Amino acid sequence: MATEPPQTRRRDRTHYLYIAVIVAVLLGIVLGFAAPELAKEFKPLGTAFVNLIKMMISPIIFCTIVLGVGSVTRAASVGKVGGLAIGYFLVMSTVALVIGLVVGNILHPGDGLNLTESIAKSGQSQVKESESTTEFLVGIIPTTLVSAFTEGEVLQTLLVALLAGFALQKLGPKGEPIRRGIEHIQRLVFRILAMIMWAAPIGAFGAIAAVVGETGWSALRSLAIIMIGFYLTCAVFVFVVLALMTWFIAKVNLFSLLRYLGREFLLILSTSSSESALPRLIAKMEHLGVSKPVVGITVPTGYSFNLDGTAIYLTMASLFIAEALNAPLSIGEQISLLVFMIIASKGAAGVTGAGLATLAGGLSSHRPELVDGVGFIVGIDRFMSEARALTNFAGNAVATVLIGTWTNQIDREQVHEVLAGRQPFDEATLLDEHGEDSKPVASKESS
């Protein structure tokens, strides 16, 4: 009971940040229309915020990938359930990323925005002076083990992180102190990022004001297109892709499952974080009839590795920024970016802003001149956080049911009784055992 007041205060502060970003965006829009020339002068505020995010890219990717590789091994080591869960998460993340790319290419949300001519020209010159495949592959190898961090080369950081992760696995029990040390460093990095995110209202104000001052109604139209497109894409993924899989594989009606989890969805909607419903999801999946081992492995692992909503967001936001800067990504670059996001998105389950850092990392690894566009997307990032969290949560609930079905560790009679409402969930069964110990290391926010 003693810990409840601090948790409440933290949640309230997050709401203050959310409200502050919305107010800042509205003020930036008003200034952009009322005094366009003055609004353009505030662009450095958005640039400064983007630079702060860029500063965190390498340490975030290193820590999350190293620990993520270890998590895959630990999850797979428990046998069939863990291996099946990891395989399913990788496939579904890829599907979500592909859907995001397809919808983004259909909508062209940033088309015609033309944010800055100078950046557009630099993008065109970069395409003309692009490296050969051999030079690109050789360039992934850093000069030294630490130069990838000091030079801000994202793909080099990714390579070092993967090597470190696999080396840590080979060390076995002897590597446990190193793993714990990296976990501590990750907490420090995420704490710094959380502090930086309090500057998001200032960055959002500067970026939105400058863009609206420069482009007028075109900016609002483009923002509306990507937001509505993102919401619709998440809806299609949940109500078409997940619904079909749930029905044909588990013979479970998705709408009945979502209705059963209605209180959890309301909780996520009010907090913008699916982590707030993690203990309840574990308890409710066990009550539904899925075995404890399946729930205990699938749900916590899914919170770090099964981020379908975040995957859709990353690809659509990347295409939006590229088109807004008048430097669209080629098909080859989109495919390469997709591969990068499949790996890097596993680190997007950290604190607020980790998704932005992953987005910036993906752009930096392929088209560094596009990273400045992240300052524009931050203005609407918070508006899309609920859709990301809700989609992630729905994906993890469906994954638990599917993996329980594939491993024959689900009581089908219990499922039908619960979903029919004949065995309602008893709130008194939500014990402390479903609390802190079940949380994944890096799941402060699934956005």
pLDDT at 255: 93
Q: Is residue 446 part of a domain?
A: no
Is residue 13 in a domain?
no
Domain membership of residue 267 (yes or no) is: yes
**166-222 confidence digits (pLDDT tens):** 888 788 788 888 888 988 888 888 788 778 778 878 887 887 787 777 766 766 777
Average pLDDT over residues 276-289: 82
Segment 46-90, tens digit of pLDDT: 778 777 877 777 787 788 777 766 665 666 556 677 788 888 988
Q: State the pLDDT confidence band at 416, using cuts at 50, 70 and 90.
A: very high
pLDDT above 90 for 27: no
Q: What's the average model confidence in pLDDT over 101-130?
A: 57
Provide mean pLDDT across the span 359-368. Answer: 75
| Assigned domain for 16 exists | no
pLDDT of residue 240: 93
Residue 246 confidence (pLDDT):
94
Which pLDDT does position 77 carry in this prediction? 57
Q: Which residue has the tokens 């869960």?
A: 85
Q: Which CATH number covers residue 332?
A: 1.10.3860
Looking at residue 215, its pLDDT comes to 66
The pLDDT value recorded for residue 430 is 53
> How far apart, in whole angstroms, are the C-alpha atoms of residue 431 and residue 153?
46
Side-chain-side CA neighbours of 243 within 13 Å: the count stands at: 12
Place of tokens 């949640």: 11
Q: Is residue 21 part of a domain?
A: no
pLDDT band per the 50, 70, 90 thresholds, residue 397: very high
CA 438 – CA 45 distance, rounded (Å): 40
- Domain residues for the domain of 58 are 31-438
- The better pLDDT of the pair 146, 390 is held by 390
pLDDT on residue 423: 86
- 215-260: pLDDT as tens digits: 667 667 777 888 888 899 999 999 999 999 999 999 999 999 999 9
pLDDT of residue 247: 94
Q: Looking at residues 11-23, what average pLDDT do you find?
A: 68
Per-residue confidence (pLDDT) for residue 405, from 0 to 100: 92
Q: Compute the half-sphere exposure of residue 269: CA atoms within 13 Å on the CB side of its CA.
A: 7
Q: What are the b/e assignments for 86-116, b being 16+ CB within 10 Å?
A: bebbbebbeebbbbbbebbbebebbeebbbb
In a domain, residue 357? The reply is yes
Say how far apart CA 364 and CA 316 lie, in whole Å: 16
pLDDT of 286 higher than 80: yes
Give the Cα separation of 23 and 253 in Å (integer): 40
| Contact of 119 with 321, CB cutoff 8 Å | no
Kindly state whether residue 42 falls inside one of the protein's structural domains: yes
The better pLDDT of the pair 258, 147 is held by 258
Q: What's residue 6's pLDDT? A: 45
Question: How does the average pLDDT of the chain come out, rounded?
Answer: 75
What secondary structure, in 3-state letters, does 371-422 show? Answer: HHHHHHHHHHHHHHHHHHHHHHHHHHHHHHHHHHHHCCCECHHHHHHHHCCC
CA dihedral 98, 102, 108, 109 (to 10 degrees): -50
Average pLDDT (158-163) is 81
Confidence of residue 123 (pLDDT cuts 50, 70, 90): very low
Tell me what percent of the residues of the chain surpass a pLDDT of 90.
11
Higher pLDDT, 8 or 262: 262
- Evaluate whether residue 307 is within a structural domain: yes
Ranked by mean pLDDT, the top range of 102-106, 311-315, 393-397 is: 393-397
Q: Alpha-carbon distance 232 to 238, whole Å?
A: 10
pLDDT exceeds 60 at position 431? no
Residue with tokens 């409402």: 421
Q: How many domains does the chain have?
A: 1
> What is the structure's pLDDT at 275?
66
